[in-house]
Amino acid sequence: MSNSTQDQALSPLGSDLKCDGYAIFLVVSSVLFVLYLMVHAKKNLNSICRRRSYVVVSYYAILWLVTLLNLAWSFLQAWQCSPGKEVAWNLLSIFTTSGMLCLEISLMAFLLKDNYMNGMEALAHSFLASGIIVFVDTLLKAIYVFGFGVPLFNRNVESTHMIKWSLWIVHKLLLAAAYGFILSVHFSKWREKVPPRPVFYNYVAVMFVFSVITLFACGLAGIGSGLGIWLYDLTMLCYHSLYLPFLYVTFLADFFQEEDFLLDNAYYSEMKDAGFFDADWE
From first to last of its 282 residues, what are the pLDDT tens digits of the chain?
334 333 333 334 334 445 655 678 889 999 999 999 999 888 878 777 776 666 777 788 899 999 999 999 999 988 887 788 889 999 999 999 999 999 998 877 766 664 444 445 555 666 777 888 999 999 999 999 999 888 888 876 555 578 899 999 999 999 999 999 888 877 777 666 666 667 778 888 999 999 999 999 999 988 888 898 899 999 999 999 999 999 988 877 766 665 444 444 443 344 444 443 344 444
Q: Cα–Cα distance between 113 and 197 in angstroms, integer?
A: 13
Domains in the chain and their CATH numbers? 19-116+123-253 (1.20.1070)
pLDDT at 21: 57
Separation of alpha carbons 47 and 125, rounded Å: 22
pLDDT at 88 (0 to 100): 93
d(CA 36, CA 43): 12
**CA dist., res. 64 & res. 62, Å (int):** 5
Contact 79, 88 (CB under 8 A): yes
Distance between CA atoms of residues 197 and 31, nearest Å? 30
In the chain, the amino acid numbered 19 is C
Whole-number pLDDT of residue 99: 94
Residue 195: which residues within 8 A CB-CB, separation 6 or more?
111, 113, 115, 116, 119
